[in-house]
Amino acid sequence: MEKSQAMQRDSRTTAKVLNEALPFIRRHDGSVVVIKLGGHAMSSDEAMASFARDIVMMRQCNLNPVIVHGGGPMINRMLDKLGIESEFRNGKRISDADTVEVVEMVLSGRVNKTIVQAINQEGGRAVGISGKDADLMICKQAEGDLGLVGDPQVVNPKLIKTLFEQGFIPVIAPLGAGPDGETFNVNGDTAAGAIAAALNADRLLLLTDVEGVKDADGDVITDLTIEQVEALTAKGTIAGGMIPKTQTAIDAVRGGVRAVVIMNGQQENACLLELFTTFGAGSMIRE
């Protein structure tokens, strides 16, 4: 009897949550949401399956999700296995030809297809591509003596829009093509921001391993303007690894994205909490 009553309570709670989500589902109807999925968010099969269910739920609610993924831990393991040394400068991997070959193998191969398979197993229709496909992302060599690291110069979203029209979910490895046929390694956040801007996305969700942008007391700031971000950076409140993420957010918003959210991707159902609840998740940055 107690078990039956508990199940009834759970069912009523589920129905209430769905009812309260309706205005948010209607608000985002038909919108584009770009999600940057970091390698640390793929730490377990359970986490990957939960993320995949969120993505399928978004597509069922008539959103158009695009996943741009990283894969740093997986790349590091493969480089170690092959005895290739790798260094970072200002948060970007210095990439010679050997390193880029491994990066492409890991990102376009194992990581990309793991995400695609997880989404498809949950009932979605995901397709894995890289920024090299159909000249999606044309890059120039990044400054700073980083080797074959690229900065996106032109993003051609036609392929992504075609996939939307056919009901597919694009999963994109952050690699770009150079004007002379080079393969460039592109920072995942940078790639996600450039793709989101080209699509005039409603949201760019940057999934990280922290809750969001914090103030001087260590509390998460839930809503920020570009001016506030720049002021906090000048004061040193925003520092370290958060600086490139907030800069990606600023560039994306100025490029046409309605809002960017920096959030903890390790929180269960983080994407759904952000899109379909009153309180959201993480720090939202907008004009």
CATH number of 28-286: 3.40.1160.10
Give the mean pLDDT of 72-100. 90
Q: Within a 10 A sphere around the Cβ of 218, how many other Cβ atoms?
A: 7
Catalytic-residue membership of 72: yes
**Which residues, at least 6 apart from 98, have a Cβ–Cβ distance to it below 8 Å?**
84
Catalytic-residue membership of 39: yes
Question: How many residues in total does the chain contain?
Answer: 287
Looking at 36, 71, 131, 193, which residue is catalytic?
A: 36
117: phi then psi, degrees, rounded to nearest 5: -65, -40
**pLDDT tens sequence across 134-186:** 999 999 999 989 999 999 999 999 999 999 999 999 999 999 999 998 999 99
Looking at 71, 176, 245, 265, which residue is catalytic?
A: 245
Looking at 38, 70, 71, 72, which residue is catalytic?
A: 72
Which two structure tokens, joined as six digits, stand for 228?
């506030």
Catalytic-residue membership of 189: yes
CB half-sphere exposure, 20, CA atoms < 13 A: 13
**pLDDT tens sequence across 180-233:** 989 999 999 999 999 999 999 999 999 988 889 999 999 999 999 999 999 999
Give the domain ranges of the chain.
28-286
Looking at 38, 39, 188, 282, which residue is catalytic?
A: 39
**Confidence (pTM):** 0.92
**pLDDT tens sequence across 7-42:** 556 667 667 767 787 888 888 899 999 999 987 677
Comparison of pLDDT for 92 and 219, the residue scoring more: 219
Name the strand (E) or helix (H) holding 101: helix 97-104
Looking at 92, 132, 176, 189, which residue is catalytic?
A: 189
